[in-house]
Amino acid sequence: MNEGSVSQDPLEAQRILSSLLSNTGARIEMLYDNRRELQTSWNRSKGASEILKDMKNREALNTLMPKARSISKLFAYLGLVESLGVTLIDMALILLIANGRELHIRHGGGIRHVSTLKELRKLDLFYKLEFLKANKLEFVGDLVNRKLRNEIAHLNFQIEENGDIVDSNGQQINIDDKLEKFWERVGHIISIFEEIKFLNWVENIGHVRAPDAGIPNHPP
């Protein structure tokens, strides 16, 4: 999460996402067109995140030297953001797009509206996070600490011999706290998607529609 931001009530985020899910209207076809890609992305990110989550509980991690332990946790955070974090963010964005909210991507010499998950992956993370916040989904948009993500991705940090991590501004990074907050927010967002039956719909692709999901039947 981004320090200094006011956290949105998760119940408000759930209300908005539930409303998006049940009001896709004429653009329901787009939601179905992205269903298989959503499932693939979800399964891959879930698998990767389970490995990374398991890593923090391994006794072997505690046998590493402090510097090695710290850098392992930093790259675990980056991996979680780029897998599970981005997937959950894209799920919320797909629901917004299916309700007529327009994200744009450069195409050829012009600009076009994003309509697929593959196109979403090409967009800058900052653009996606700000779009969520502009559409009153701060609870999802604040999932990723973008400053920390960029510091790690660009190696803008220093690790002391005792394992302390210092960012480019000389401020100490408590990576254990960042990981804990990430997992806490992830748990809330997954619970919301489960509660509104969207995750059930994504996972049960063998059905025309998931039982009790608030998604209209696929048009004939």
Number of compact structural domains in the chain: 1
Is 216 within the bounds of a domain? no
Residue 67 located in a structural domain: yes
DSSP state of 4: T
Cβ neighbours of residue 211 under 8 Å, at least 6 residues apart? 200, 204
**Residue 210 in domain:** no
Question: Which regions of the chain are under pLDDT 70?
Answer: 1-7, 25-26, 56-58, 60, 106-110, 206-220
Domain of residue 134: give its range: 10-203
pLDDT tens column, 74-86: 999 999 999 999 9
Angle subtended at Cα 131 by Cα 129 and Cα 167, rounded to the nearest 5 degrees: 25
Residue 43 lies inside a defined structural domain of this protein: yes
The predicted-structure confidence for 164-207, as pLDDT tens digits, reads as follows 999 999 999 999 999 999 999 999 999 999 999 999 999 987 65
pTM of the model: 0.89
For residue 147, what pLDDT is reported? 95
17 neighbors 137 (Cβ within 8 angstroms): yes
* pLDDT of amino acid 1: 60
